[in-house]
Chain A
Amino acid sequence: MEGFSNGDSGDVVLAIAQRIVENRGYLSDIDGLIGDGDHGVNMAKGFSLAAERLRGEARPLAASLAASLATLGDVLMTEIGGSMGPLYGVMFSGFAAALDGVEEIDAPAFERMLRSGLDEVQSIGGAKVGDKTLIDAFAPALQAFAAATAKHERFAAALDALIVAAEKGRDSTTNLVAKIGRASRLGERSRGVLDPGATSCAIILRAFAEGAKAKLGMSSSSTLSEAQP
């Protein structure tokens, strides 16, 4: 079974944080259209705070993915507030809990991780697909990943399917009317604009999947070189 090591993949979380920080202005701009324009600011603040904490730890690059995700979840939940603090906080904590004690992360473990995060978000937020929230990116991404692995596609191919589905899901929010959260008060006026939460979620999932793919690439090449005499 293909996989990558949990133990030294903590840097994937730093890469996710970096992508969020890079998109600070963009996320705030789309939030300004149907929200109050602070999504990028708050997300960047939380993710950069988590990155700082991770970099400050004794051997940051040697941190496990599970531990780094737990730190990120914890920082978002305790330091960020808003609605995205708790939602992404429980999502990353859910990811971390599912990976706790897992040495080699293979596709089934990755799928369990995604499911655990999604369950946590839905239990606190209560949104469904079609409500114009981050669930519209997250749920189809998990579905696509699970479908690909069920068809015995390679782990990396399943990660690609996840990225495509997350971004398609994000784009689907343009034509939706918000049913939950602050934008829901706009009714029809929320149509025609991307949902900021779905947009940041797609960024996170892409960065996560790309990070995992890079780890897979490294571990397969190292397996190859080890196999050679």
Chain B
Amino acid sequence: MQRFINDPDFVVDDTVRGFVKAHGDLVKLGDNPRVVAYALAPIRGKVGVVTGGGSGHEPAFIGYVGRNMLDAVAVGEIFSSPTAKSFHDAMKLADGGRGVVCLYGNYAGDNMNVKMAVKLAAKDGLEVATVVANDDVCSAPPDQREKRRGVAGEILMWKCGAAKAALGGSLHDVRAVAQRAIDNCRSIGVGLGPCTLPAVGHPNFAIEPGKMEVGIGHHGEPGVRVELLKTAAEVGRDMARAVLDDHGLAAGTEVAVLISGLGATPTNELYILNDAVDAEVRARGLRIARTYVGNFFTSLEMVGATLTIMALDAELKELLAVDVACPAPL
């Protein structure tokens, strides 16, 4: 495939440089070029909110740095966890004197690097609490939630945690709200086409024409099954069913719905999916408080979409409504 790149080994550096140039009003680059921070960070007296993850998911993760959003983000190679040093540097940049919360996704590399970074921060006397996102229902059975991957539910976790911090919440409060936010999220991905890591040069998996992969991961991790491609109405309904069956929400529960493209799916198709998702959610007696449709958390040029459904309580609903300014849509 044809790409706009310079050198495959410097794709991340080039991306971050262009990103900071585009959004200089909201973000700045740390001394460590693999840390992007809110232009005004650290904010004195506020709990710092950080995350980090591999690149290739833009606008995640860096796009969610901003006012009332993330204070700093550690940037990894394409689909690869940032270093412990970058996580640590992000924590330091976010430190406003009330501790820092690191809200990240459940991947082996991120777990190790965050763990090491938390240790490094403790040595400087900086207290860091962590929440690990595990919203992907297809990546492990319900009784092994601790093994599940974190996917687009992370965005809603960031939003709620960052809003709580912006409203003056303590480290304990922010951590608790972020944990509740992700506990209330369930997600599923469906893949229609693979993506190619620029430095690898060939697609990372294959999907036969006419087939779709249900439960696909954000890095092309194979799903739970390959099915014949159905109509959008059926796919949207099935995605909503998979998520809601795992959720087991009581009728009348308010929810937020987030549909994200994986990179190469046209936005109109995401709306077509939402039409079916919305119908299935309402058919189960649930009330939709907010719907987000767009490219929030992508996987290079993968074709496909993820659906996240978050159960809301009064506080989470309020936190989702807090006004933010960040480069990514939200």
**What is A's interface to B at a CB cutoff of 8 Å?**
28, 32, 36-38, 41-42, 45, 77-87, 124-125, 180-182, 184-186, 189
Contacts of A45 in B (CB 8 A): 9, 77
Decide yes or no whether B271 CB sits under 8 A from chain A.
no
Which residue of A36, A77, A83, A87 contacts B221 across the interface (Cβ within 8 Å)?
A36
Which residue of A41, A77, A81 contacts B76 across the interface (Cβ within 8 Å)?
A81
Q: For the complex formed, measure the closest distance between the CB of B84 and the CB atoms of chain A, giving whole angstroms.
A: 6
Contacts of B86 in A (CB 8 A): 81
Q: For the complex formed, measure the closest distance between the CB of B243 and the CB atoms of chain A, giving whole angstroms.
A: 17
Cβ B77 vs Cβ A42 within 8 A: yes
Knowing A36-B221, A182-B107 are in contact, say whether A86-B84 is a contact too (CB < 8 A).
yes
Decide yes or no whether B250 CB sits under 8 A from chain A.
no
Which residue of B76, B82, B108, B202 contacts A182 across the interface (Cβ within 8 Å)?
B108
Q: For the complex formed, measure the closest distance between the CB of B187 and the CB atoms of chain A, giving whole angstroms.
A: 14
| Prevailing SS type, chain B contact patch | loop
Cβ B204 vs Cβ A32 within 8 A: yes
Contacts of A185 in B (CB 8 A): 139-140, 147, 149, 217, 221
Which residue of B115, B149, B200 contacts A38 across the interface (Cβ within 8 Å)?
B200
Cβ B217 vs Cβ A77 within 8 A: no
Cβ B9 vs Cβ A32 within 8 A: no
Decide yes or no whether B79 CB sits under 8 A from chain A.
yes
Kindly report which residue of chain B lies nearest to residue A28, judged by CB atoms. B200
Decide yes or no whether B113 CB sits under 8 A from chain A.
yes
A38 CA to B300 CA, complexed, in Å: 14
| Prevailing SS type, chain A contact patch | helix
Cβ B84 vs Cβ A37 within 8 A: no
**What is B's interface to A at a CB cutoff of 8 Å?**
9, 54, 76-86, 107-109, 112-113, 115-116, 139-140, 147, 149, 197, 199-200, 202, 204-205, 217, 219-222
Residue among A86, A87, A125 with most chain B CB within 10 A: A86
Contacts of A83 in B (CB 8 A): 81, 107-109, 112
Which residue of B83, B85, B140, B197 contacts A36 across the interface (Cβ within 8 Å)?
B197
Contacts of B83 in A (CB 8 A): 77-81, 85
A23 CA to B108 CA, complexed, in Å: 23
Which residue of A37, A81, A189 contacts B197 across the interface (Cβ within 8 Å)?
A37
Cβ B204 vs Cβ A36 within 8 A: yes
Residue among B76, B80, B197 with most chain A CB within 10 A: B80
Q: For the complex formed, measure the closest distance between the CB of B258 and the CB atoms of chain A, giving whole angstroms.
A: 22
Cβ B80 vs Cβ A38 within 8 A: yes
Cβ A41 vs Cβ B197 within 8 A: yes
Cβ A82 vs Cβ B147 within 8 A: no
A185 CA to B116 CA, complexed, in Å: 24
Cβ A37 vs Cβ B204 within 8 A: yes
Contacts of A41 in B (CB 8 A): 77, 197, 199-200
Cβ A36 vs Cβ B222 within 8 A: no
Knowing A81-B81, A81-B86, A85-B113 are in contact, say whether A38-B199 is a contact too (CB < 8 A).
yes
Cβ A86 vs Cβ B219 within 8 A: no
Cβ B112 vs Cβ A42 within 8 A: no
A181 CA to B111 CA, complexed, in Å: 10
Kindly report which residue of chain A lies nearest to residue B112, judged by CB atoms. A86
A17 CA to B82 CA, complexed, in Å: 21
Cβ B149 vs Cβ A124 within 8 A: no
A36 CA to B139 CA, complexed, in Å: 15
Q: For the complex formed, measure the closest distance between the CB of B242 and the CB atoms of chain A, giving whole angstroms.
A: 16
Q: For the complex formed, measure the closest distance between the CB of A5 and the CB atoms of chain B, giving whole angstroms.
A: 32
Cβ A82 vs Cβ B200 within 8 A: no
